[in-house]
Structure 1
Amino acid sequence: MMNVHAIQLQSGNAHWYETHSAGPLLHFYHANGFPFRTYTEFVTELAADFQVIGLAHRATWKNIGLPSSKTGWMSYADDLIDFLDASGRHPVIGVGHSLGAIGTLLAASKRPDLFRALVLIEPILFSTAFLLAARSMPFRVRRLFPLVRKTLERREHWESVQSFVEFHRGKRLFSRLSGTVLDDYGAHGLVPDPDGGLRLAFPRIWEAHVFSTPPHVWGHLKSLRMPVLGIRAAASDLIPAASWDKWRRLRKQDECVVLPGIGHMAPLEAPRKTADIILKWLHSRQLTGIQPG
């Protein structure tokens, strides 16, 4: 079970989640397009040893409006810093997936005092060549990236949760997800539409904007002072082998683990396996007093 709380941050009326569990404080930051409670199974596994909290991404906040030209991945890091400061819930073990991993990394680079350790699951690490090319493109051109274009074409409005779940069940990205996780996505991936029916809780315009604004994070990664666990999914193509190798060369002190047979959505595809790796690593670093099973 989780409680949801409202909190006023500098960027808007935010909300965050908290498990009914005891232990050291762990913050989980979710991926682009997948609201926090989609990860209920994964978070429940972590809550066996930790009190888990999680700020919802600004895209899902009440009355947030549209992203501006100044909104980027660093905005999510600044939101996290603001939340941890405003709530007084720190220092934390920072765990993040995809966009959430990069947001956590950037926040820890700016404010290392807020974090005891980091777990970065499938952080999207673009090559420097790609980033330089992307930055030289006008925003209207970046909107033509295949991933951006496909996201903007996503169906925004739905008649029912059931139709939403059944539609996604047959898609490649969701084919490895259990029925329970898909049900969680259906239950929390939609919100009532004032005009009737349901709409995406994480609006597609926000999701596409994230894909349109890739950040350069290598300098921030190099600067991290706390213990770091990096997790790459072998069946994912969002961390190129060259980027993974560069990370391992750049930070030989980090623990870098590859999950065989699992795709980019690792915490949703294999919540127990992913959590088990995290818990065992945190225990090995003496960051939890409970021995994982």
Structure 2
Amino acid sequence: MMPQRFSIGPAGVAIAMVQWGESGKPPALLVHGTGFVADVWDEVARELASTHTVYALDRRGHGASHKPATYHFADYADDVCRVVDALGLRGVYGIGHSAGATDLLLAAKMLPKCFTRLFVMEPTAMNPHATHDPSATLSAQSLSRVQGALRRQAEFDSRDAVVERYRGAPAFADWTEASLWAYVRHGFTQLDNGRVRLCCTPETESAMLRPIYEVMEQVYVGDARGNPFAWFSEIACPVMVTTAEASWPIYKEMASRAVALIPHAQTLTFEGAGHCVVQEAPSLVVRAVREFSA
């Protein structure tokens, strides 16, 4: 099964899309986490395509999608709504990971009649009702991590060189070979000199990470639209919020914040897996997604 590639919107603001399976089946919309691309869902999407028309997007700043100046959470949700409207999707099964899971949760509030259910893995979330100092900013430790993204190696001699390097990196150590190659093939662009470069540049990733760390530390204030995390309490469709046994404590904490806000949310823990469970144990994800849809 060869996935189909297309884009939504005019040049400069286009959202890159991938589709698995034939049109006409119930739609599933997959949204990746920070730093990745639509194709990291490939192993999951191929299985789900037997029962769904599966779509995934490159989130803004990633892959072949647009690279704007702002990366607020509501902006990402706007992009999801653009996709749903442009494709005329209804009865959507939204499946998201990390910050991409947050995109879907916010979009479900913005388009309440379009989603039948959401399966979200360790969403980025804060408690918008918690008391905090409005003048508070990121801790020195988090600011260092945001700035540390600027030092990420952006260019390599080849995609083979990227795979060789990433196989030994802790962040990718437990990924399946297919998932790693899917990321490297589509998360890097070929340069005229034969080298390859990250589509999500270190500068872009750093800009994306700042609001994420602000959410982690409960100091995110949003933009002119306000703090969107209060919207979680208005989500009407069934929601499954999952965590991963080997994930970092902050991801589990943010998932707990989401569960506390979302009406009647169900929970599930993937045992023996880390934060990138989709790429580490795709079969577990497919089974859980199918069980929730049943």
Tell me which interval the TM-score lies in, with the shorter structure as reference length: 0.7 to 0.9
Aligned-partner Cα distance in 1 for 2:137–2:256 = 27
Is 1:88 the equivalent of 2:88? yes
Paired residues of 2:36 and 2:62 also in contact (CA < 8 A): no
CA–CA separation in structure 1 for the residues paired with 2:293 and 2:91: 15
**1:102-158, CA deviations, whole angstroms, 9 ceiling, x for partnerless residues?**
0111111122122111111111224569995697438xx889624312322111111
| Cα distance in 2 between the residues matched to 1:107 and 1:19 | 22
Structure 1 segments unaligned to the other structure (5+ residues): 284-293
Which residue of structure 2 lines up, in the alignment, with residue 286 of structure 1? Answer: none
- 2:63–2:188 CA contact under 8 A, matched in 1: no
Would you say the 8 A contact 2:149–2:206 is kept in 1?
yes
Residue 25 in 1 paired to residue 20 in 2?
Answer: no
Unaligned runs of 5+ in 2: 216-226
CA–CA separation in structure 2 for the residues paired with 1:134 and 1:195: 48
**Residue deviations 1:79-115, cap 9 Å, x none?**
1101211221233111111111001111111221221
d(CA) in 1 for partners of 2:31, 2:7: 16
Partner residue in 2 for 1:110? 110
Find the counterpart in structure 2 of residue 203 from structure 1.
Answer: 201
The aligned counterpart of 2:8 is 7
CA distance in 1, matches of 2:135, 2:243: 26
Equivalent residues in 2 for 1:247-266, closer than 5 Å? 247-251=258-262, 253-266=264-277
| Partner-residue secondary structure (3-state), 1:80 | helix
1:143/1:212 contact within 8 Å kept: no
Q: Distance in 1 between matches of 2:244 and 2:202?
A: 25
Q: Which of 38, 41, 44 is the matching residue for 1:39? A: 41
State the partner residue of 1:53: 55
Instruction: Give the aligned partner of residue 275 of structure 1.
Output: 286
Q: In structure 2, what is the Cα distance between the partners aligned to 1:35 and 1:248?
A: 26
Output the TM-score relative to the length of structure 1. 0.84
Determine if contact 1:124/1:239 at 8 Å carries over to the other structure. no
**TM-superposition CA deviations, 1:190-247 (whole Å, max 9, x none):** 1112454110122222222121013555422211100111111121126455544444
d(CA) in 1 for partners of 2:76 and 2:229? 17
* CA–CA separation in structure 2 for the residues paired with 1:131 and 1:168: 41
- What residue is the counterpart of 1:291 in the other structure? none
Aligned letter for 1:15?
A: A
Distance 1:15 1:249, change over 3 A: closer
1:231 and 2:231 aligned: no
Which residue in 2 is equivalent to 1:287?
Answer: none
Question: 1:62 and 1:187, CA in 2 relative to 1: closer, same or farther beyond 3 A?
Answer: closer
Query: Are 2:108 and 1:97 aligned?
Result: no
Q: Does the 8 Å contact 1:16/1:54 carry over to 2?
A: yes
Give the direction of change, closer, same or farther, for the CA distance of 1:250–1:77 in structure 2 (3 Å limit): closer
What pairs with 1:139-154 in structure 2 (closer than 5 Å)? 145-154=143-152
Distance 1:192 1:135, change over 3 A: farther
Distance 1:122 1:241, change over 3 A: closer
Q: Which residue of 2 aligns with 1:180?
A: 178
- Inter-partner Cα distance in structure 1 for 2:9 and 2:174: 37
Q: Deviations over 1:162-181 (max 9, x none)?
A: 11011111111111112222
Q: Distance in 1 between matches of 2:25 and 2:135?
A: 43
Q: Work out the CA distance in 2 between the residues paired with 1:134 and 1:37.
A: 39
The number of residue pairs the alignment matches comes to 279
CA contact (8 A) 2:123 2:255 kept: no
Coordinate RMSD, CA, aligned: 2.8
Superposed displacement of residue 50, structure 1: 1.2
| C-alpha distance in 1 between matches for 2:168 and 2:127 | 31
For residues 157 and 131 of structure 1, the distance between their equivalents in structure 2, rounded to whole angstroms, comes to: 43
